[in-house]
Amino acid sequence: MIKSSDLDPNFKYEISNEPGGENIKKCFNCTGCTVGCPVTEIDKSYNPRIILRKALLGMRKEVLADDSLWLCASCYICYERCPQDVKITEVIGAIRAIAQREAKAGKIKITNDKSLFDHLFIDSVKSNGKWYEAGVSGMFMLKTKGIGGAIGYAPMVLELFKKGKLSIMPHKIKGTKEIKRIFEEVEKK
Amino acid sequence: MKLAYYPGCTLHGTAREYDASTKAVCRAAGVDLVEIDDWNCCGALEAIFDKELSMGLSARNNFKAQKTGLDLVIPCSICSHNLSRADTAMKNDEAFRTKIERALGEKYNGVKIKHLLDVIVNDIGTDAISRKFTKSLKGIKAVAYYGCLLVRPSEVSKFDNPENPMPLDNLIKSTGADCLPFTQKTKCCGGNLLMSKQDYAFLLTKKLFDEAKAAGANCVVVACPMCHMLLDGQQTTIEKAHNTVIDMPVLYFTQLIGLAMGISEKELELDKNMVPTSKLIDSIGKGETKAEVKGATTEGAKAEEAEAAE
């Protein structure tokens, strides 16, 4: 049972003020996003229409803390097919941004590992200008699977290394100061 | 033709054979690639939670390309998506442009960005490139896998029909290889879930192989390093997880047309693919001449075979 007193009517505005979330209010819940979704095909509990409907109703905490927010594979099928041009893939990105801020403030807990991987990835780009594949993947494995789990990937890592496909050290670009300035500019909301 | 070239991080790492085969094919096709100076990561799909950051990182590369005065070609579908999206935002969103111009201390005018496949099939043209083919690839039975960002969202990629594209199919056919119908051609491989939800990523990739096998394919042809990472790089892990045998080589389209151009396997780095390609190469019909390649529709080839039999 949804209690209207628990709803946050401002949530849809919060999302539409986030870059990528602008078009959420255009959604008329036709389900076109969900019928074509490849993730829904393998997991019926993943339902982008329900995420959008809950967001529009103002079920803020439920949407932000839901693991399924992190299951979108960013394949853009729903984005392409949406008759209302909601740009769903980017709306999901906008909701993820809000969820991450809430998690940082200690108000919710994100259980899905996608957020951790994204942050390790972006941190490596911030310091090197390029993504540090061996370092980021290794750190992610250690944090999510422990040493035992990470060691399981050793044969593949060795093969990639032998083929000259994996660099042990990060590649650093010359313009890391410019990268830092881009981060600073976009952080000023 | 002279173009600015943005390889992106993977082409200098796990997708090095895509970089090598891109350079080899472009050289043979008379396309001069000028790698842009000191380029950076576009943020891939890992910055999707911060649209401005994703576009800001990408925009720095567009500034670098702008300096060359050339159009920009990108072999990776994710990079191509990100840099194209950033170019549009830099032109149309004044607040965003102001931020990035302030960060980089330069004015942005715009740059024309295309995916490598788009350049090959549309700018050079499938007919023109196929005139450079010296060897028929008859014996290869491929499915064309376009994946997601090469075709979607169409407002960004501006490349053919987003649901049922045909250019890669036609390019494959022009080499004399068979290209089989494949309804999964624009379905997602789950690449973006590889690290965080591996079981889902594997299920999505396995579905592609199930249909490719049912169609009778002996290889998959791709145009994106992320798709290749899943289909080629993870194939043995998927086999183990699902207790099945897939055993299907996955070629970059540049490796395929490179073979038709007579470029050596070494130069196309076919030994760098994780799934061995030697059996597939052996399946290519031997002793065919260029004259046979020209009539290389399947029917034409069949008619020739019938004549020879008589």
3-state DSSP assignment of residue B303:
helix
- Integer Cα distance of A148 and A159 in angstroms: 19
Selected residue of A43, A74, A110, A127 to mutate for chain B interface (largest B Cβ count, 10 A):
A74
Residues 6+ apart with CB under 8 A from B189: B145, B147, B201, B204, B205, B208, B226, B227, B230, B231
B52: chain A residues, CB-CB within 8 Å: 19, 186
Of B49, B162, B272, the CB nearest to A93: B49
Sorting pLDDT into bands at 50, 70 and 90, what band is A108? very high
**% of chain A surpassing 90 pLDDT:** 91
pLDDT score, position A158: 92
pLDDT score, position A162: 95
pLDDT score, position B294: 45
A86: chain B residues, CB-CB within 8 Å: none
Which residue is closest to A69 within chain B, CA to CA? Answer: B49
DSSP code string of B97-166: HHHHHHHHTS------EEEHHHIIIIIIIHHHHHTT--S--TT-EEEEE--STTTSSHHHH--S-SSS--
- Quick: pLDDT tens for B240-280: 999 999 999 999 999 999 999 999 999 999 999 999 999 99
Under an 8 A CB cutoff, do A75 and B152 touch? Answer: yes
DSSP code string of B179-228: E---TTTTS---GGGTTT-HHHHHHHHHHHHHHHHHTT-SEEEES-HHHH
Domain ranges of chain A: 4-104, 114-187
Q: What is the CA radius of gyration of chain B?
A: 20
Q: What CATH number belongs to A4-104? A: 1.10.1060.10
Sorting pLDDT into bands at 50, 70 and 90, what band is B298? very low
Number of helices followed by number of strands (H, E) in chain B: 15, 8
pLDDT score, position A152: 85
Sign of the alpha-carbon torsion through B144, B145, B150, B152: positive
- Integer Cα distance of B12 and B225 in angstroms: 11
pTM of the model: 0.93
pLDDT score, position B287: 41
ipTM: 0.96
User: What residues does B143 pair with on adjacent strands?
Assistant: B220
A123 has a pLDDT exceeding 90: yes
Of B48, B154, B193, the CB nearest to A80: B154
Amino acid at B155: E
Angle at A78 between CA A75 and CA A80, to 5 degrees: 90
- Block residue for tokens 């780095």: B269
Which domains does chain B possess?
A: 2-116 (1.20.1050.140), 132-306 (3.40.50.11810)
- Cβ atoms B112, B1 nearer than 8 A: no
A167 has a pLDDT exceeding 80: yes
Query: What is the average pLDDT value for chain A, to the nearest integer?
Result: 95
Sign of the alpha-carbon torsion through B151, B155, B156, B157: positive
Selected residue of A90, A96, A121, A186 to mutate for chain B interface (largest B Cβ count, 10 A):
A186
Q: Does B95 touch chain A (CB under 8 A)?
A: no
- Integer Cα distance of A86 and A95 in angstroms: 13
pLDDT score, position B289: 43
Chain B, 251-280: which have a CB under 8 Å from a chain A CB?
271-272, 274
3-state DSSP assignment of residue A120:
helix
Side-chain-side CA neighbours of residue A141 (13 Å):
16
Amino acid at B190: G
- Quick: pLDDT tens for A15-74: 999 999 999 999 999 999 999 999 999 999 999 999 999 999 999 999 999 999 999 999
B306 has a pLDDT exceeding 60: no
DSSP code string of B73-85: EES-HHHHHHHHH
- Integer Cα distance of A175 and B41 in angstroms: 12
Interval B21-43 mean pLDDT: 98
pLDDT score, position A153: 86
Interval B111-120 mean pLDDT: 98
- Quick: pLDDT tens for B223-237: 999 999 999 999 999
- Cβ atoms B59, B86 nearer than 8 A: yes
Cβ-Cβ pairs closer than 8 A, A with B, add up to 165
B291 has a pLDDT exceeding 60: no
pLDDT score, position B93: 96
Q: Does A93 touch chain B (CB under 8 A)?
A: yes
Under an 8 A CB cutoff, do B148 and A77 touch? Answer: yes
Q: Does A6 touch chain B (CB under 8 A)?
A: no
pLDDT score, position A139: 94
- Quick: pLDDT tens for B189-230: 999 999 999 999 999 999 999 999 999 999 999 999 999 999
- Integer Cα distance of A51 and A102 in angstroms: 18
Q: Which two tokens stand for residue A175?
A: 């313009």
Residues 6+ apart with CB under 8 A from A1: none
- Integer Cα distance of B298 and B310 in angstroms: 19
Interval B67-87 mean pLDDT: 98
Interval B165-186 mean pLDDT: 98
Query: What is the average pLDDT value for chain B, to the nearest integer?
Result: 93
**Cis, bond preceding B153 (omega within 30 deg of 0):** yes
Of B39, B48, B196, the CB nearest to A113: B196
Q: Which candidate, B87, B190, B207, places its Cα nearest to that of B147?
A: B190
Sorting pLDDT into bands at 50, 70 and 90, what band is A2? confident
**% of chain B surpassing 90 pLDDT:** 91
B293 has a pLDDT exceeding 60: no
pLDDT score, position A100: 95
Under an 8 A CB cutoff, do B148 and A186 touch? Answer: no
B302 has a pLDDT exceeding 80: no
pLDDT score, position B290: 45
